[in-house]
Amino acid sequence: MAQINFGGVTENVVTREEFPLSRALEVLKDETIAVIGYGVQGPGQALNLKDNGFNVIVGQRRDSKTWDKAVADGWEPGKTLFPIEEALEKGTVIQYLLSDAGQIALWPAVKKNLSPGKVLYFSHGFGITYKEQTGIIPPKNVDVVLVAPKGSGTSLRRMFLEGRGLNSSYAVFQDATGRAEERVIALGIGVGSGYLFETTFKKEVFSDLTGERGTLMGAVQGLFAAQYQVLRENGHSPSEAFNETVEELTQSLMPLVAENGMDWMYANCSTTAQRGALDWWKKFRDTNLPVFRELYSEVAKGNEARKAIEANSKPDYRTGLEKELGELRDSEMWRAGAEVRKLRPENL
């Protein structure tokens, strides 16, 4: 473990230099990793672990789309792909990667199979942090750990195949064996993390829920929609409005930020763009700060968790979700985006 200074604050991080893959394989050489759920995070984590040489099986419901997806990805029924209950019995590490609502529903079956010394692994602190609402309370004789890749399972897999890593947070909630920390770090290296930074279950879920509703998804869509609307109201074409709002940001500027930081991106834009950005960014910060404080407060109070559980547990959840996603998909801005993407050189 290394101590790195981030803007004056020292944090504990683990890289693949001080904890190489060979050490991770040694730590987990006697483990059977059962990946439960093959939806968002499951495929990327399971395939990366498999390709890295770990003993991995997948647990999924038979005759489901995700079972078929697992088969298509190379998992063999009866060898590396099993019904959930059977995988839970076989696994010494239970990677609990179902949706938050799915975790609540399956918890009795999982708890029944948590024999002493096993590892219960999460990629989200939701179930444990909001245990009063989820009912997920592990027995005291198992290790309870977390590795949360900072991105989608698709990104995790894509970056792994490119020879890169996606940064992840890690946490130990319960150390029953005395080996929880080395086991979780080994798992974090195994799933393809670039580096691992230490957190807690509570901090992970508070930051994650805030980020998803904020700059990662909710706030950025709100900013896109507002700017696009203003440009269209002032006579700009859909193509121009979309290019100035989304395409230039995602295809040109954000890669520069990712490579070298916002200051470098500013320094490598026109002087007119620099002046405008420097004049306006604090106004956007000050306008949005009260909204983010309200958002964090709602997350900390558990209100966002309650809303998510209630919504995601409804029998018609998928129908409602498709309606809301359709509203985005069918909006003029994202219909324009679909046409703009077709015109990218690689798509012509």
Write out pLDDT tens, residues 98-135: 988 899 999 999 999 999 999 999 999 999 999 999 99
Between CA 267 and CA 264 the distance in angstroms is: 5
Residue 53 backbone class (left: φ over 0; alpha: ψ -120 to 50; beta: rest): left
Write out the chain in H/E/C secondary structure.
Answer: CEEEEECCEEEEEEECCCCCHHHHHHHCCCCCEEEECCCCCHHHHHHHHHHCCCCEEEECCCCCHHHHHHHHCCCCECCCEECHHHHHHHCCEEEECCCHHHHHHHHHHHHHCCCCCCEEEECCCHHHHCHHHHCCCCCCCCEEEEEEECCCHHHHHHHHHCCCCEEEEEEEEECCCCCHHHHHHHHHHHCCEEEEEECCHHHHHHHHHHHHHCCCCHHHHHHHHHHHHHHHHCCCCHHHHHHHHHHHHHHHHHHHHHHHCHHHHHHCCCHHHHHHHHHHHHHHHHHHHHHHHHHHHHHHHCHHHHHHHHHHCCCCHHHHHHHHHHHHHCCHHHHHHHHHHHCCHHHC
pLDDT at 7 over 80: no
Sequence ranges of the domains in the chain:
2-199, 211-347
The confidence score (pLDDT) of residue 12 equals 82
- Percent of the chain's residues with pLDDT above 70: 100
Write out pLDDT tens, residues 66-102: 999 999 999 999 999 999 999 999 999 999 999 888 9
Under the banding of pLDDT at 50, 70 and 90, the label for residue 251 is very high
Return the sign of the alpha-carbon dihedral for residues 196, 170, 258, 282: negative
- Percent of the chain's residues with pLDDT above 90: 85
Q: Do 163 and 119 contact (CB within 8 A), yes or no?
A: no
Mean pLDDT to the nearest integer, 17-41: 95
The confidence score (pLDDT) of residue 105 equals 92
The confidence score (pLDDT) of residue 6 equals 79
- How many CB atoms are located within 10 Å of the residue 44 CB? 25
CATH of domain 2-199: 3.40.50.720
Closest by CA to 37, choosing from 45, 48, 49, 29, is 45
- Chain-wide mean pLDDT for the chain? 94
Phi/psi at 68 (nearest 5 deg)? -65, -35
Closest by CA to 162, choosing from 51, 73, 255, is 51
pLDDT at 270 over 80: yes
Write out pLDDT tens, residues 208-243: 999 999 999 999 999 999 999 999 999 999 999 999
The confidence score (pLDDT) of residue 275 equals 94
Under the banding of pLDDT at 50, 70 and 90, the label for residue 151 is confident
Structure tokens at 64: 């489901």
Q: Do 152 and 40 contact (CB within 8 A), yes or no?
A: yes
Q: What CATH class has 211-347?
A: mainly alpha
Write out pLDDT tens, residues 48-67: 999 999 999 999 999 889 99
Cα 169 to its chain centre, rounded Å, is 10
Mean pLDDT to the nearest integer, 282-304: 96
Q: Do 9 and 190 contact (CB within 8 A), yes or no?
A: no
pLDDT at 302 over 90: yes
pLDDT at 163 over 80: yes
Beta strands 33-36; 2-6: pairing state: unpaired
Which residues, in sequence order, are CB contacts of 197 under 8 Å at separation 6+? 11, 12, 13, 14, 167, 168, 169, 170
Under the banding of pLDDT at 50, 70 and 90, the label for residue 148 is very high
Q: Which of 124, 183, 213, 232 is catalytic?
A: 124
The confidence score (pLDDT) of residue 78 equals 96
Length of the chain, please? Answer: 348
Terminal alpha carbon distance of the chain: 47
The confidence score (pLDDT) of residue 278 equals 95
Write out pLDDT tens, residues 37-48: 998 899 999 999
Tell me if the pTM is above 0.85. yes
CA angle, 107 as apex, 317 and 83 as ends, to 5°? 85
Whether 124 is a known active-site residue: answer yes
Q: Do domains 2-199 and 211-347 have the same CATH topology?
A: no
Mean pLDDT to the nearest integer, 22-34: 97
